[in-house]
Structure 1
């Protein structure tokens, strides 16, 4: 059985931030020139084919980042008590342990989607197997740093 990997895949500013001071991602859109877009350099759809679990925080979930994950199991870290749906599992507790247990089962890799608080937990637990970091050519100056 192939070991499932936990893969962190996100965008980061030149100065190391993954979100602005409000937790937003509008800065990722750039200036309208699409020559350097990730889609032109990297096959996102192929990446999605290699995963079957997505892990995200409640803020990311609330922002509607689910369109690409309809056929995946999505784990949402939250402090709220919410009811699971067909493919969404709300986790109020130690999500790192739950995902590590999932990694011991047969399946594809795990996409650590974000946000920052969730990523911090995985970094502190030292359980991220692979980092895919797209560097956006902008300087935010402040916000949520990745490291």
Structure 2
């Protein structure tokens, strides 16, 4: 099967996914000027993988609205919830094992949502095929980096650049 694995997300100009307090206020006030690429991206995926912090933050930010109800969601955590929404799976297995098993099943693409440590772990194993990175023109000075230190050196090819209001999105594919 070999389903593709994608990262789609925004970072500050200095490379952070969130500030030091796991907040995204700096992102949520961004003006996209009516331009968006997510709907096209969304058609390519049917599965999401994210860490527990990202999952909890997203639920809080959306007032506990159903999170992507038509897609399978795998939440990496050692503290599973007792009640799980439909199509939501709390898993404690290593992310490389999870992604390897998901890639072997039929389906569309797999979206890695947030989580710099998850992203770099998968990059180190050559398991991310493409990146969509929106760059927000704000400097945070500290926070959670998209690319923490690690052993994942590789080269990507720029497929597209999109101006999204004040943001710039880079669409990159891993060189094989």
Q: What interval of TM-score do these two structures reach, taking the shorter chain for normalisation?
A: 0.7 to 0.9
Relative to structure 2, which stretch is displaced further, 117-126 or 47-56? 117-126
- Structure-1 residue corresponding to 2:167: none
Q: Which of 53, 59, 62 is the matching residue for 2:56?
A: 62
Q: Which has the bigger relative contact order, CA under 8 A and spacing at least 6?
A: 1
Distance 1:69 1:146, change over 3 A: same
- Structure-2 residue corresponding to 1:136: 136
Deviation of 1:133 after TM superposition, in Å, equals 0.2
Give a deviation string over 1:33-79, Cα, whole Å, max 9, x none.
x3xx1x83333122112111001111111121674511000000001
SS in 2 for 1:40: coil
TM-score norm. by structure 1 comes to: 0.83
Q: How far apart in 2 are the matches of 1:82 and 1:120?
A: 26
The answer to whether the 8 Å contact 2:115/2:146 transfers is no
Q: How far apart in 2 are the matches of 1:91 and 1:61?
A: 13
Greater strand proportion: 2
SS in 1 for 2:17: strand
- Structure-1 residue corresponding to 2:43: 49
Q: How far apart in 2 are the matches of 1:145 and 1:70?
A: 28
For structure 2, the 5+ residue unaligned runs are 148-176
TM-score norm. by structure 2 comes to: 0.71
